[in-house]
Amino acid sequence: MKKVFVVPNRYMDSVMLMGVAVRLEERDDVRAANCGMGTKQNIDMLRDEGYDLPDNITKNDLMIALECDTEADLKTAFDAAMSTLAGGASQHQRAYRDVSELEDGEYDVVQISLPGKYALKEARKAIDKHMDVFMFTADVSLEDERALKEYGRDHGCLVMGPDAGVGLLGGVAMAAGSIVNFGPIGIIGASGSGSQEVACLIEEMGSGVTCILGTGGRDLKKAVGGVSMKADMKRLDRDENTKVICLVSMLADREVMEEVLREADGLSKPVVAVFLGADEALYRGHRVTGVFNLQDAAKACVRLAGVGGARIGWTDQELEELADSCAKRFTGTKKYFRGLYTGGTFAEETLMVFRANAPDTVMHTNRDNTKYAVRLKTHKQSEGHTLLDMGDLDFTAEAPHTVFDPAQRLQRFRQELADPEVGLIAMDIILGPGVAPDPASCYLPYMKERPDVVYVCAVCGGENDPQDKKRIKAMLREAGVIVADSNYESARLCAAVCRKLEEH
């Protein structure tokens, strides 16, 4: 039997609600569960699934839809859901209902992850209070994004996002970012996982960062014009602690990237730029140190800052030897690579490395707008060599993002392991105070059951992240996983293995 429980005037965020639904479905007494706010889209979806709903539900109401065998099971499951939600809310202060109620000067930054149209309103209220804005929310039009960023810039406020996943301010990791040691390098990133990787590698090499200013993934699109990146460069040029500035982005609008590089030419400090997918011509004639992968960006920053310099990565010979030993493990029916990535930039960087180092390998992906792979027919089923971006809407519309809850990737990992043609699985493991507290251990029992498969992981995290990077790496190695120093190294190894398979 199916029933929708409606809790009036109770707002909960979608990440938490999807997590509750997943936990409910793990119960033996629940056949199906769905939790959401009473939006028209959610109401229509539940009605399509055969649930009866009253007509007076509003978008302020929380809906918990359950399918169980008995009325008693429905009640028990609903009570469990409410208990979980109450647990999540119990520690929160309840003093404010919106940004306008905050006392002036009491808070410096507002971190927003509301639906787009509400996020914009609250962000403007924050700027009016001279607060900086960090916006995780992504569903904002490019026109609104530009207007908000210009409004913030004109009021002297930082506007990080929309669509900012990572930031580091005064040593505090924002959203899904990592805690990274203080040092002389300032990072401005239009790529969340890219910025986090560069910062963490800088730390790994013995240096550190003044801050990570995330601009949001669309800042260098033509309609937005790089408003935040340009404003942030000027800030870091004035910051006495920042000795080197690093710009991180996926490939964006050529004209905007060139404008940014021209502005960088006028700064007083050395600038490193990594626009993933860019060609040498983009950087030519500019003062910046232009590089083509995240690891080289970190190395260039450390070299220019003159602090740190510990070696990371495999030498070419080490890589060849390792790839040889991995390729020899492709016995019987094994012939394919499967990449399960949570960071979009990690997925793209891996595809780029494959194209450069294993050009005969045909890769399939669910990523849009990449020139390095063939689009999968469906994200639900891998074909041949496949690299999945599990942070894409294909996956996040169905379950919490893997970076917050590894359940969805674990399910896919098991699906790939069940495919007798799979010989190599690569994954990124992302750490930080705002992400899954235990992102890796769930895979280990399955890895230990199938030691014939090659596993390659790169761990992106800071020394001070709560998950304990050293422990996670040791645990993975103990399970037989090859732990690469960076995503770039992981991609180099996987591409080298596939190249050897093509050659034989």
Partner 1 sequence: MQESRKNEAGIYQEKPAVANLGIMLFYQALVDQKCKCTQINWVPEYEQSEEMEALLDEFL
Query: Is position 263 an interface residue for partner 1 (rule: CB under 8 A)?
Result: no
Task: State the Rg of the chain over Cα.
Answer: 23
Single out the residue of 198, 220, 216, 36 nearest to residue 136, CA to CA: 216
Residue count of the chain: 504
Instruction: For partner 1, give the closer residue by CB, 67 or 465.
Output: 465
The pairing of strands 2-7 and 62-67 is antiparallel
Query: Is position 60 an interface residue for partner 1 (rule: CB under 8 A)?
Result: yes
Single out the residue of 89, 82, 32, 92 nearest to residue 62, CA to CA: 82
Q: Find the shortest distance in angstroms from Cβ 25 to partner 1.
A: 20
Q: Find the shortest distance in angstroms from Cβ 42 to partner 1.
A: 13
Site string for partner 1, 118-137 (x = CB under 8 A): xx--x---x---xxx---xx
Query: Is position 138 an interface residue for partner 1 (rule: CB under 8 A)?
Result: no
- Helix, strand and coil content of the chain, in percent to the nearest 5, comes to 40, 20, 40
Instruction: For partner 1, give the closer residue by CB, 110 or 220.
Output: 110
Instruction: For partner 1, give the closer residue by CB, 175 or 251.
Output: 175
Q: Find the shortest distance in angstroms from Cβ 276 to partner 1.
A: 26
- Tokens standing for 332? 């019987």
Single out the residue of 402, 426, 258, 443 nearest to residue 351, CA to CA: 426
Site string for partner 1, 449-488 (x = CB under 8 A): -----------------x----------------------
Query: Is position 448 an interface residue for partner 1 (rule: CB under 8 A)?
Result: no
Cα distance between residue 94 and residue 4, in whole Å: 27
Query: Is position 186 an interface residue for partner 1 (rule: CB under 8 A)?
Result: yes
Cα distance between residue 373 and residue 375, in whole Å: 7
Site string for partner 1, 7-36 (x = CB under 8 A): --x-xxx-xx--------------------
Among 45, 75, 82, 113, binds partner 1 (CB under 8 A): 113
Site string for partner 1, 229-248 (x = CB under 8 A): ------xx-xxxxx------
Count of C-beta atoms within a 10 Å radius of residue 130? 12
Instruction: For partner 1, give the closer residue by CB, 61 or 73.
Output: 61
- Tokens standing for 5? 């429980």
Q: Return the DSSP state at 376.
A: P
Question: Do the beta carbons of residue 159 and residue 133 sit within 8 Å?
Answer: yes
Instruction: For partner 1, give the closer residue by CB, 114 or 374.
Output: 114
ω before 445 within 30° of 0 (cis)?
no
Instruction: For partner 1, give the closer residue by CB, 9 or 315.
Output: 9
Distances (CA, A) of 35 to 42, 64, 161, 371, 403: 9, 5, 27, 37, 20
Identify any residues that bridge with 209 across adjacent strands, giving them in sequence order: 185
- The residue with tokens 């699934």 is 49
Site string for partner 1, 385-424 (x = CB under 8 A): -------------------x--------------------
Query: Is position 96 an interface residue for partner 1 (rule: CB under 8 A)?
Result: yes
- The residues that touch partner 1, with contacts defined as CB under 8 A, are 9, 11-13, 15-16, 59-60, 88-89, 91-99, 101-102, 105-114, 118-119, 122, 126, 130-132, 136-137, 156, 158, 169-175, 179, 186, 210-211, 235-236, 238-242, 404, 432-435, 466
